[in-house]
């Protein structure tokens, strides 16, 4: 059986604990994601998918339950250790690209390596390679204002790969793109997945979700459907 | 992240909004420039004062014969300092004394050549007069002991004189030329053996120029030995001035202790120049403090802009945190950005302040000095400290942001 990269067990998230407006968003999520899967987490806005993503992405701690990433219990980690995890194990791709303005595409892609302490020439080498891989090699020196949406997302994808993360965590990656560009980006994800990359894609679009081999549906803070992974069926 | 990388990132961030960066730096530039300018001008003034003091004998001990009885009449006969006493002093104080000079003022006279009339300020001098004076020897040699003993008709003239009389700047050629001047109604011919440097003042205002000749000749023309009642003693370089002044004064006072008519008074320029020095220091410090205050105001400007910058870049900070930047790294990034602004502003301020300082010095004192390395290092250190101090609060705010909130920021 393949090992789970992400193990979520009984995850509950409550905001404003002990206050008048105390609100429980996630009501006990159980989810295992295995190496090499391309998983879509589908839900409408308000379903709790963003909250779940923040926990998976080590941006936030759960209130109850356990979360293991690559065998490490994320809840026991300090803020600095969580930063390390985000830097080395998770590759983020955001809906609105979140590239740093007035910095070249190359510098943007290099950024996670900067925080990982990688020396300059190795950074440039790897970043250039990844940019070429996503078809942005010729625009390495462009800053984001000179790139189209699709181009920006491709740069963002290159950036997410730069420290060889265990998972790519993509939050509505096609949300700001037109249909054609969306499918181009999806194709990149599928290629990466074919090469063995584990990808978790958060989306509200059923259409996008249908492109992924596994679909987990979340509604009102609970998983209501899971097309299942091959590994769960033992 | 290494410091150098941080600085590079900081420069990129600063370059990305040049106008804002420039305006932020302005406060620092003005603060540093004003301090550098003031200190530089002050240093030039010090140098000028020192030069003037040297010229007018400060650092030298002036030993004068005064009437013992203060109510004595104006032309009462006083004892003179003898050559034997001078030789005695020179022997005893060989280690401390560089030379003893004395002179007699002779009536001003003039020489004519063609249409040019040159006024001469006449000095009958001893061999130490020129070396101890503010008139350096440019060419030839000084009047020596032998010239005085043997009453050689030799003289020293100024380069200004050579220019006006011989219409030549070739000083070498003037050596050996003969010139006739009137001393005590007698026409005497002298041979030029040395050229001394005249000061700018004389040339500018067409004042009489110096003419030096042996004091023994003046004595022989007048028929009487000139009484030596005013000598100037110069200490060797590096000698403790206080020790020198106290012991020399003691020597001369005791030498005249048996005199019935006269006593010795000794004056030095040192005490006077020391108090002037102290005053100048005070003035510099005060103005420097005012400049430092404007630097502080500049720092507040930096803090202000950094706060705005942090707010504007909230999203960017969120992104960096999501990509793995630790709180400490965000803190470092923004503090270094503040430091970079202040460092660059400081460097620009030093350049502007130096240029302004030297320009003002030249205008006021006709001389200038380069800013001392000491001051530059302090100014740079101070600007960086301002950067760290005033950058800290905005940087802390940045590093305390919650990444999820920051990512949501529009």
B76 vs B371: which has the higher pLDDT: B371
Determine the longest span between alpha carbons in chain B, in angstroms: 107
Confidence of residue A42 (pLDDT cuts 50, 70, 90): very high
Beta-carbon separation of B16 and A102 below 8 A? yes
Report the C-alpha gap between A40 and B283 in whole angstroms: 75
Confidence of residue B270 (pLDDT cuts 50, 70, 90): low
Report the C-alpha gap between B249 and B96 in whole angstroms: 13
Q: How many CA atoms lie within 13 A of B90 on its CB side?
A: 13
Q: Using an 8 Å CB-CB cutoff, list chain B residues near A114.
A: 1, 5, 9
pLDDT (0 to 100) of residue B319 = 96
The C-alpha R_g of chain A, in whole angstroms, comes to 18
Average pLDDT over residues A1-29: 90
Q: Is residue A234 over pLDDT 50? A: no
Average pLDDT over residues A78-101: 94
The complex's ipTM works out to 0.93
pLDDT (0 to 100) of residue B56 = 61
The C-alpha R_g of chain B, in whole angstroms, comes to 33
Q: Which of A226, A110, A225, A215 is nearest to A158 (CA)?
A: A110
Lowest mean pLDDT among B150-159, B214-223, B267-276: B267-276
Distance between B387 CA and the closest CA of chain A, angstroms: 23
Q: Is residue B230 over pLDDT 90? A: no
Beta-carbon separation of B316 and A54 below 8 A? no
> B336-354: per-residue pLDDT in tens?
999 999 999 999 999 999 9
Beta-carbon separation of A98 and B407 below 8 A? yes
Contacts of B298 (CB under 8 A, 6+ apart): B26, B27, B28, B29, B30, B31, B345, B386
What residues form DSSP beta bridges with A203? A42
Q: Which of A78, A97, A219, A103 is nearest to A170 (CA)?
A: A97
Report the C-alpha gap between A96 and A26 in whole angstroms: 25
DSSP secondary-structure letter at B126? -
Q: Is residue A60 over pLDDT 50? A: yes
> A121-139: per-residue pLDDT in tens?
999 999 999 999 999 999 9
Q: Is residue A199 over pLDDT 50? A: yes
HEC sequence for B276-333: HHHHHHHHHHHHHHHHHHHHHHHHHHHHHHHHHHHHHCHHHHHHHHHCCCCHHHHHHH
pLDDT (0 to 100) of residue A127 = 96
Average pLDDT over residues A92-119: 93
Report the C-alpha gap between B163 and B161 in whole angstroms: 5
Distance between B397 CA and the closest CA of chain A, angstroms: 16
Q: Is residue B206 over pLDDT 90? A: no
Q: Is residue A170 over pLDDT 60? A: yes
Q: Which of A101, A93, A105 is nearest to A185 (CA)?
A: A93
pLDDT (0 to 100) of residue B201 = 80
Beta-carbon separation of B403 and A94 below 8 A? no
Beta-carbon separation of A111 and B320 below 8 A? yes
Average predicted confidence (pLDDT) for chain A: 92
CA geometry: angle at B100 spanning B98 and B101, to 5°?
125
Average pLDDT over residues B20-41: 88
> Structure tokens of A29?
């999520």
Out of A79, A117, A159, the one facing B327 most closely (by C-beta) is: A79
Average pLDDT over residues B14-18: 83
**Contact call for residues A204 and A32 (beta carbons, < 8 A):** no
Q: Is residue B240 over pLDDT 90? A: no
Q: Is residue B265 over pLDDT 90? A: no
Report the C-alpha gap between B352 and A144 in whole angstroms: 37
Q: Using an 8 Å CB-CB cutoff, list chain B residues near A89.
A: none
- Fold classification of A36-61+84-226 is Rossmann fold (3.40.50)
> B278-287: per-residue pLDDT in tens?
888 888 888 8
Report the C-alpha gap between A77 and B288 in whole angstroms: 52
Average predicted confidence (pLDDT) for chain B: 87
**Contact call for residues B323 and A92 (beta carbons, < 8 A):** yes
Q: Is residue A232 over pLDDT 60? A: no
pLDDT (0 to 100) of residue B245 = 86
> Structure tokens of B62?
């002036």
Cα–Cα distances in Å, from B341 out to B21, B23, B84, B348, B376?
A: 7, 10, 71, 11, 17
Q: Using an 8 Å CB-CB cutoff, list chain B residues near A84.
A: 324, 326
> B34-69: per-residue pLDDT in tens?
888 988 888 888 888 777 766 666 678 888 888 887
Helix then strand count (H, E) for chain B reads 15, 11
Report the C-alpha gap between B233 and B249 in whole angstroms: 10
Distance between B348 CA and the closest CA of chain A, angstroms: 25
**Contact call for residues A167 and A85 (beta carbons, < 8 A):** no
pLDDT (0 to 100) of residue B184 = 82
Residue A171 has φ and ψ, to the nearest 5°, of -100, 105
Report the C-alpha gap between B124 and B195 in whole angstroms: 16
Determine the longest span between alpha carbons in chain A, in angstroms: 55
Highest mean pLDDT among A16-20, A66-70, B101-105: A66-70
In chain A, % of residues over pLDDT 70: 97
Q: Which of B282, B264, B262, B302 is nearest to B393 (CA)?
A: B302
Out of A80, A112, A159, the one facing B326 most closely (by C-beta) is: A80
Cα–Cα distances in Å, from B404 out to A16, A49, A165?
A: 15, 14, 20
DSSP string, chain A: -PPEEEEEEEEEEEESTTSTT-EEEEEEEEEEEETT-EEEEE--TTSSHHHHHHHHTTSS--SEEEEEETTEEGGG--HHHHHHHHHHTEEEE-TT--PPTTS-HHHHHHHHHHHTT--HHHHHHHHHHHHHHTT-GGGTT--GGGS-HHHHHHHHHHHHHTT--SEEEEESTTTTS-HHHHHHHHHHHHHHHHTT-EEEEEES-HHHHHTSSEEEEEETTEEEEE---TTT--
User: How many CB pairs below 8 A link A and B?
Assistant: 64
Report the C-alpha gap between A150 and A162 in whole angstroms: 19
DSSP secondary-structure letter at B87? H
Q: Is residue B372 over pLDDT 50? A: yes
DSSP secondary-structure letter at B372? P
Report the C-alpha gap between B77 and A168 in whole angstroms: 111
Q: Using an 8 Å CB-CB cutoff, list chain B residues near A170.
A: none
Q: Where are the beta strands (DSSP E) in B184-304?
A: 186-196, 209-214, 230-235, 262-268
Report the C-alpha gap between B228 and B124 in whole angstroms: 12
Q: Is residue B1 over pLDDT 70? A: no
């Amino acid at each position: 059986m393949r090992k789970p990269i992400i193990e979520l067990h009984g995850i509950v998230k409550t905001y404003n604990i002990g206050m008048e407006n105390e609100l429980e968003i996630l009501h006990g999520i159980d989810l295992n994601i295995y190496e090499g899967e391309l998983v879509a987490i589908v839900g409408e806005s308000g379903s709790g998918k963003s909250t779940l993503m923040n926990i998976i992405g080590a941006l936030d701690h759960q209130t109850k339950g356990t979360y293991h990433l690559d065998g490490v219990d994320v809840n026991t980690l300090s803020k600095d250790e969580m930063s390390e995890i985000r830097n080395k194990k998770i590759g983020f791709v955001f809906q609105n690209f979140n590239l740093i303005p007035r910095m070249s595409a190359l510098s943007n892609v290099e950024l996670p390596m900067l925080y990982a302490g990688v020396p300059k020439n190795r950074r440039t080498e790897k970043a250039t390679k990844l940019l070429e891989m996503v078809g942005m090699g010729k625009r390495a020196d462009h800053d984001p204002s000179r790139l189209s949406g699709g181009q920006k997302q491709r740069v963002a994808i290159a950036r997410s790969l730069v420290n060889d993360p265990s998972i790519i965590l993509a939050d509505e990656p096609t949300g700001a793109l037109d249909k054609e560009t969306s499918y181009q980006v999806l194709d990149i994800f599928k290629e990466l997945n074919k090469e063995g990359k584990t990808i978790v894609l958060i989306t509200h679009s059923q259409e996008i979700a249908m492109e992924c081999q596994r679909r987990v549906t979340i509604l009102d803070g609970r998983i209501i459907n899971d097309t299942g992974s091959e590994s769960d069926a033992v | 992240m290494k410091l150098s990388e941080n600085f590079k990132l900081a420069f990129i961030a600063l370059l990305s909004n040049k106008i804002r960066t420039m305006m932020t730096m302005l406060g620092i530039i003005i603060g540093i420039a004003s301090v550098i300018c003031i200190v530089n001008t002050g240093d030039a003034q010090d140098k000028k004062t020192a030069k003037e003091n040297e010229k007018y004998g400060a650092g030298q001990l002036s030993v004068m014969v005064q009437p013992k009885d203060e109510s004595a009449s104006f032309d009462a006969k006083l004892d003179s300092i003898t050559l034997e006493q001078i030789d005695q002093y020179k022997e005893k104080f060989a280690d401390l004394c560089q030379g003893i000079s004395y002179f007699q003022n002779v009536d001003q006279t003039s020489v004519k050549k063609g249409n040019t009339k040159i006024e001469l300020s006449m000095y009958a001098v001893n061999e130490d007069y020129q070396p101890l004076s503010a008139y350096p020897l440019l060419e030839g040699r000084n009047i020596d002991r032998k010239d005085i003993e043997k009453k050689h008709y030799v003289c020293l003239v100024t380069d200004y004189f050579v220019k006006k009389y011989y219409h030549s700047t070739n000083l070498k050629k003037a050596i050996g030329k003969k010139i006739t001047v009137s001393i005590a109604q007698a026409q005497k011919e002298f041979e030029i053996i040395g050229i001394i440097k005249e000061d700018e003042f004389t040339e500018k205002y067409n004042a009489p120029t110096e003419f030096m000749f042996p004091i023994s000749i003046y004595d022989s023309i007048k028929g009487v030995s000139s009484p030596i009642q005013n000598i100037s003693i110069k200490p060797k370089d590096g000698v403790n001035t206080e020790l020198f002044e106290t012991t020399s004064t003691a020597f001369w006072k005791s030498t005249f202790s048996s005199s019935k008519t006269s006593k010795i008074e000794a004056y030095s320029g040192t005490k006077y120049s020391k108090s002037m020095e102290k005053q100048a220091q005070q003035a510099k410090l005060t103005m420097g403090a005012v400049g430092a205050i404007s630097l502080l105001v500049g720092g507040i400007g930096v803090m202000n802009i950094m706060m705005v910058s942090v707010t504007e870049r909230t999203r960017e900070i969120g992104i960096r945190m999501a990509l793995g930047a630790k709180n400490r790294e965000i803190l470092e990034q923004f503090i270094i950005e503040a430091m970079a602004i202040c460092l660059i502003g400081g460097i620009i301020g030093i350049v502007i302040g130096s240029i302004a300082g030297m320009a003002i010095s030249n205008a006021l004192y006709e001389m200038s000095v380069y800013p001392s390395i000491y001051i530059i290092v302090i100014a740079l250190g101070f600007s960086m400290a301002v950067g760290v101090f005033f950058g800290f609060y905005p940087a802390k705010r940045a590093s305390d942001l919650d990444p999820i909130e920051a990512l949501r920021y529009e």
